[in-house]
Structures are given as C-alpha cells and as structure tokens.
C-alpha cells in the first residue's frame, strides 16, 4: 500500500517534470524562431554584425555548457542523494581542494569570455574611409543628408555592397538610437553631439533599420530602409537622387503640383526644383521612389498615401504632420503628383 502510493507520487512528479520540460522547450523554440525573423541580429549581413554574432554564439555556447553541466550534476545529486538518509550526507565544508577548484573554474571561464570579447571587438575595428553621409534622428523619422552630393534621402538610404560605409550620427531633437540589426552595433543619436559609425555591408538586400532608444509616442513607428546594392546601382541611385523633381505628366499630377504649392506643404517640406523649401519635414523630391510612408509605418501605395494625407494623426498619433483639410479631388491630385516623383 505504502509502495503503491509512493509510486503514484513519483509518477505525478515525473509527469510534472515532463510538462515543465515541454513548456521550457516550447518557449525556447518560439524565442529562437522569433529571433530568426528579419531584422534579426542572427541574420548578420554586415562586417560588424557578423563578428558580433560569432562572439554571441561563442558566449552562448560556453554558458550553455555551464548550464548543462550544472543540470547534470543537479539531477545526479537528486537521484542518488534521495536514497541516502540526511545524516549520512557527505560534508564538504572546509575542504580546501574543492574550494580552490570551484574558484578556479569560474575564473577560467570569465578570462576566456574576456579574451574572446577583446579579440572580436578588435576585429570590428577597421580603417575609416571618411564620412559619406549624416544620419539625423527626428521625432519620428530619419533624415540621411548627403551634403557634398547635394541631396537628402529621408527614411530610405542606399549604400554600395562590399564598400566601407562611414556615417556621422546626429539628432535634431531628443535622444534616438541608430540601429540596422543586420549590419552592426547600434549607436546613440544625441542632440548637440556627433557620433560616428562605420562598417562594411556584405550582402545585397533591403534591411530594416530601427530606433533603439525610447524617444516619444511614436518611437515604435520610427523605421527606415537600409538598401545594400552593387556599386554601379549605388552610383545610379545617387545620380537619380541628385536630380531635381521630375515634372508631372498626368493631368491629375499636373493639378497636384499646383495644389501642393498653394496649400502650405512648403512650410515643412522641400521639393527641389519647385517653390517648396521647408526643412522641418522630410524632403519629398523623390518621394515616389521610396517604399514606405511616415518612416515605414505604411507601404507607399496611392491608397495609403491618401489615407496618410487625409488624417496623419489617425495613422501615427502625435506625429508632427497636421491634417490638411482639402476636398477629396485635391487630395487625390496631391497623391498623383507625389507618386510621380520617382
Ligand atoms: Cu527615435 Cu526611438
């Protein structure tokens, strides 16, 4: 009777352990899978990011080894120790040899982690080719200023694959943080201070950039696209960005250009080659060439642009873009014009 109760009890315990193990495994799998979604630091495509991932995997491996060792010892002690009466348990207090061993092992582990960190940090360091553009954080969008080349590329910036990229980092208002997870380390954007980051983008592709410092109501909707292309495509992109705005061709777009010059958009926005010269909001000279609206809050489609123009506050509450009350036809003309600005 006593024996069967004990067996039942044991059965319950092992079931609970099994369920707990399953839950842990499920959570771990979900976490790893979630980490694989782009922009994931585990999918490194930049020189600095690759080194950081390798270092992270080393550290993860070593610490996983420590964890597994502790678990194995723990299970061994539980299984063997429970059969022994308490007063027969061996005592290790004051055992000098054991004290030395369990001081030495962590010291070795910490030293190895330290050396690995120094080695990989050194590998990230490389010659700086000199600033190519400035990234400016703003509530809640990104400006990429190519001062020498004479243009601004808000919220979407191109770089040449395989060539070092060197960026000055500034803020126009509060502290933001520039981060393209697949390219490399994040860096703070501090008002009144210029930071700097450089790395080599290794693989062509479009990578999402994020703001990594809480900066206000729309911190979560402050994204940009970091596009890595072969060098000749990069040159073509620069040439296109340098051009003034294209003249509209469609009837609606022609009317839209008239509308945009009269309703006050120019107090915040600039369109090079027109009367719009504002600097507070994003430069719209090549708006139609970009994939996103409102710092990648919406995809750049005519429907979404109309939605954005009709009520920016509904899409992105507290953003600095006001509602511009216009008849629907004029809103549609504005959309037609902006989408033609490739
Ligand atoms: Cu900008 Cu968070």
- What confidence tens digit (pLDDT) does each residue in 285-309 have? 999 999 999 999 999 999 999 999 9
**pLDDT tens digits, residue range 121-161?**
888 888 888 889 999 999 999 999 999 999 999 999 999 99
Q: Is 219 in the pocket of ligand 1 (CB under 6 A)?
A: yes
What is the pLDDT at residue 319? 94
**Over 50: is that where the pLDDT of 35 sits?**
no
**Over 80: is that where the pLDDT of 2 sits?**
no
Tell me the pLDDT of the chain averaged across its residues.
88
Q: Is 295 in the pocket of ligand 1 (CB under 6 A)?
A: no
**Over 90: is that where the pLDDT of 33 sits?**
no
What is the pLDDT at residue 1? 40
What is the pLDDT at residue 39? 82
Q: Are 254 and 184 in contact (CB under 8 A)?
A: no
Nearest atom within ligand 1 for CA of residue 175: 1
Q: Is 211 in the pocket of ligand 1 (CB under 6 A)?
A: yes
Q: Are 300 and 342 in contact (CB under 8 A)?
A: no
H or E element: which one contains 66?
Answer: helix 47-81
**Over 90: is that where the pLDDT of 88 sits?**
no
What is the pLDDT at residue 81? 77
**pLDDT tens digits, residue range 178-213?**
999 999 878 999 999 999 999 999 999 999 999 999
Tokens in use for 159? 């770089």
Q: Ligand 1 mean position to 300 CA, how many Å?
A: 21
Nearest-CA residue for atom 1 of ligand 1:
176
Q: Ligand 1 mean position to 15 CA, how many Å?
A: 47
Q: Are 287 and 269 in contact (CB under 8 A)?
A: no
Output the CA torsion sign for 12, 15, 20, 21: positive
H or E element: which one contains 175?
Answer: none
What is the pLDDT at residue 181? 93
Q: Ligand 1 mean position to 187 CA, how many Å?
A: 12
**pLDDT tens digits, residue range 208-252?**
999 999 999 999 999 999 999 999 999 999 999 999 999 999 999
Nearest atom within ligand 1 for CA of residue 213: 2
The answer, as to whether pTM is greater than 0.85, is no
Q: Ligand 1 mean position to 48 CA, how many Å?
A: 22
What is the pLDDT at residue 87? 72
Rounded Cα–Cα distance for residues 336 and 342 (Å): 12
Nearest atom within ligand 1 for CA of residue 174: 1
**pLDDT tens digits, residue range 50-75?**
999 999 999 999 999 999 999 999 99
Q: Ligand 1 mean position to 174 CA, how many Å?
A: 8
Average pLDDT rounded to a whole number, residues 10-18: 56
Average pLDDT rounded to a whole number, residues 80-98: 77
Report residue 325's pLDDT band, with 50, 70 and 90 as the boundaries: confident
Report residue 7's pLDDT band, with 50, 70 and 90 as the boundaries: very low
Q: Is 43 in the pocket of ligand 1 (CB under 6 A)?
A: no
Average pLDDT rounded to a whole number, residues 6-16: 53
Average pLDDT rounded to a whole number, residues 248-264: 93
205-211 and 223-229 strand pairing: antiparallel
Rounded Cα–Cα distance for residues 183 and 202 (Å): 9
**Coil, strand or helix: which one is 143?**
strand
Q: Is 188 in the pocket of ligand 1 (CB under 6 A)?
A: no
**Over 90: is that where the pLDDT of 89 sits?**
no
Tokens in use for 279? 């600097």
Nearest atom within ligand 1 for CA of residue 189: 1
């Amino acid at each position: 009777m006593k024996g069967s109760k004990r067996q039942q009890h044991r059965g319950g315990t092992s079931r609970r352990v099994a369920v707990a193990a399953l839950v842990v495994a499920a959570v771990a799998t979900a976490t790893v899978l979630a980490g694989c979604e782009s922009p994931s630091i585990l999918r490194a495509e930049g020189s600095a990011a690759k080194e950081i991932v390798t270092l992270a995997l080393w550290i993860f491996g070593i610490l996983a080894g420590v964890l597994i060792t502790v678990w194995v010892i723990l299970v061994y002690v539980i299984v063997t120790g429970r059969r022994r009466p308490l007063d027969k348990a061996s005592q290790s207090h004051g055992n000098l040899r054991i004290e030395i061993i369990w001081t030495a092992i962590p010291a070795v582990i910490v030293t190895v982690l330290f050396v690995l960190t120094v080695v990989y940090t050194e590998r990230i360091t490389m010659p700086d080719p000199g600033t190519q553009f400035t990234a400016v954080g703003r509530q809640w969008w990104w400006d990429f200023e190519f001062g020498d080349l004479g243009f601004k590329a808000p919220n979407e910036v191109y770089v040449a694959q395989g060539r070092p990229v060197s960026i000055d980092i500034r803020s126009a208002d509060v502290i933001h943080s520039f981060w393209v997870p697949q390219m490399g380390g994040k860096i703070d954007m501090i008002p009144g201070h210029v930071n700097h980051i450089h790395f080599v983008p290794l693989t062509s592709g479009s990578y999402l950039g994020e703001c990594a410092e809480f900066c206000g109501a729309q911190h979560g909707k402050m994204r940009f696209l970091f596009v890595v292309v072969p060098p000749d495509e990069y040159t073509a992109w620069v040439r296109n960005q340098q051009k003034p705005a294209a003249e509209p061709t469609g009837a609606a777009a022609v009317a839209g250009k008239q509308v945009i010059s009269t309703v006050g958009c120019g107090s915040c926005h600039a369109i090079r080659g027109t009367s719009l010269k504002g600097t507070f909001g994003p430069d719209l000279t090549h708006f139609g060439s970009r994939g996103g609206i409102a710092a990648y809050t919406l995809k750049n489609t005519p429907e979404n642009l109309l939605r954005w123009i009709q009520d920016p506050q509904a899409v992105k509450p507290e953003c600095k873009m006001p509602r511009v009350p216009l008849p629907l036809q004029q809103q549609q003309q504005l959309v037609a014009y902006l989408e033609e600005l490739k």
